[in-house]
Amino acid sequence: MRSVKMMLVAAACSGLVACTSETGVESSRQALASKSVFKSSMNGGGAYLSSGDMYGGISVDVWESGTGKTATAGLSYSIMQIDPTSEVCLTESFPDKDDPALPPIDYTYCQYTRFVYESGSGEIPAKDLQVRPGAVRLETTVGASPTFFSTRCTQDAMSMDPPVCTDGSTGTISVTWHKDGVSWTQMSGSQQQQWGPFSMKTSGIYKTASALADGTVLGQSVSSASGDIRSSGGASVTKDLTMVPPLPPEPLPPLPPPPPPM
């Protein structure tokens, strides 16, 4: 028996994958009543990374906040993964059009239908973030607390129900950034990153220098991940995390029919 297997992966930007956009375009989710979860300001340096493929992704945003005795640090992270147990497949058999006497060809189409995303934002001790010329080091333990909000949600893309969420995991985030000298940028205005029911808005003027990041995020490895090292140059850059009611996901489209037999 001859067979062909094709894998389809689907995840909505507005639901599970962290997406970044400029202000001025408001989605239907953003238009809903939102709840402020965490507000902070970047006064100094920080770093950001984003790593992923068609099966999941990780993002980390960390920054210095406050000065002197009131100095702290802020952290926001998100992790999205496909649930490997949620694979759904459809197989159809077609005769060989050139030689019907040959065994039929099985065409199998598969897709994952369940996604897990985890996110957290809040204050961490200032000592957990070290900013040096050309490098940033983050070593901290996260978990739900009065100063840190975290959640873990499971979304079934075959269901019209909203995601099922619980408190986020307790674990370690250990990442080091090093400038790679490829590029630098000055950011001005507002940017917005969205994942699941959460949205992080960053407003102000700051500079970024491209960097590579290595380490682990709640047990997930990142290696030479694309990122940047940031500096506010003494200005205050605001960070505002909000949560909006989750929209029911659009169901995945039916699996496409197999192509005509070769």
- What CA–CA distance (Å, rounded) separates 25 from 164? 28
Which of 22-26, 137-141, 149-153, 164-168 is predicted with the least confidence, judged by mean pLDDT?
22-26
The predicted model gives 122-150 an average pLDDT of: 94
User: Residue 233: which pLDDT band, with cuts at 50, 70 and 90?
Assistant: confident
From residue 94, alpha-carbon distances to 99, 101, 146 in Å are: 12, 12, 60
Domain-embedded: residue 177 = yes
Domain-embedded: residue 257 = no
pLDDT, position 56? 87
Domain-embedded: residue 235 = yes
Tell which residue, 97, 100, 98, 96, has the closest CA to residue 3. Answer: 96
Q: What angle do CA 219, 220, 225 make, to 5 degrees?
A: 140
Domain-embedded: residue 262 = no
pLDDT, position 3? 56
Burial of 118 by CB count in 10 Å (0-12 exposed, 13-18 middle, 19+ buried)?
buried
- What CA–CA distance (Å, rounded) separates 188 from 140? 29
Contacts of 246 (CB under 8 A, 6+ apart): 162, 163, 196, 197
- What CA–CA distance (Å, rounded) separates 167 from 151? 4
Domain-embedded: residue 261 = no
Q: What is the DSSP letter of 44?
A: S
Our count of domains for the chain comes to: 1
- What CA–CA distance (Å, rounded) separates 17 from 198? 11
Query: Do the Cβ atoms of 207 and 252 come closer than 8 Å?
Result: no
User: Residue 171: which pLDDT band, with cuts at 50, 70 and 90?
Assistant: very high
Contacts of 6 (CB under 8 A, 6+ apart): 107, 108, 109, 110
The residue among 90 and 178 whose pLDDT is bigger is 178
The predicted model gives 115-137 an average pLDDT of: 93
Rounded to the nearest 10°, the torsion over CA 246, 41, 227, 211 is 180
Q: Structure pTM?
A: 0.76
Q: Outline where DSSP puts E strands in the chain.
A: 2-8, 19-22, 35-42, 45-53, 56-65, 72-82, 87-94, 105-112, 114-124, 129-132, 135-142, 148-156, 164-167, 171-195, 198-217, 220-231, 237-243
The strand pairing partners of 27, in sequence order, are: none
The residue among 166 and 196 whose pLDDT is bigger is 166
- What CA–CA distance (Å, rounded) separates 81 from 196? 12
Q: What is the DSSP letter of 197?
A: T
Structural domain for 224, as ranges: 2-26+33-243
- What CA–CA distance (Å, rounded) separates 72 from 121? 13
Average pLDDT, the chain: 82
User: Residue 224: which pLDDT band, with cuts at 50, 70 and 90?
Assistant: very high
Tell which residue, 220, 208, 223, 211, has the closest CA to residue 177. Answer: 211
Percent pLDDT > 90 in the chain is 39
Query: Do the Cβ atoms of 82 and 110 come closer than 8 Å?
Result: no
Which of 34-43, 59-68, 74-83 is predicted with the least confidence, judged by mean pLDDT?
34-43
pLDDT at 251 over 80: no
Percent pLDDT > 70 in the chain is 79
Which of 13-27, 31-45, 176-190 is predicted with the least confidence, judged by mean pLDDT?
13-27
| Pairing outcome for strands 2-8 and 105-112 | parallel
Domain-embedded: residue 129 = yes
The predicted model gives 111-121 an average pLDDT of: 90
Domain-embedded: residue 109 = yes
pLDDT, position 95? 87
Domain-embedded: residue 151 = yes
pLDDT, position 258? 58
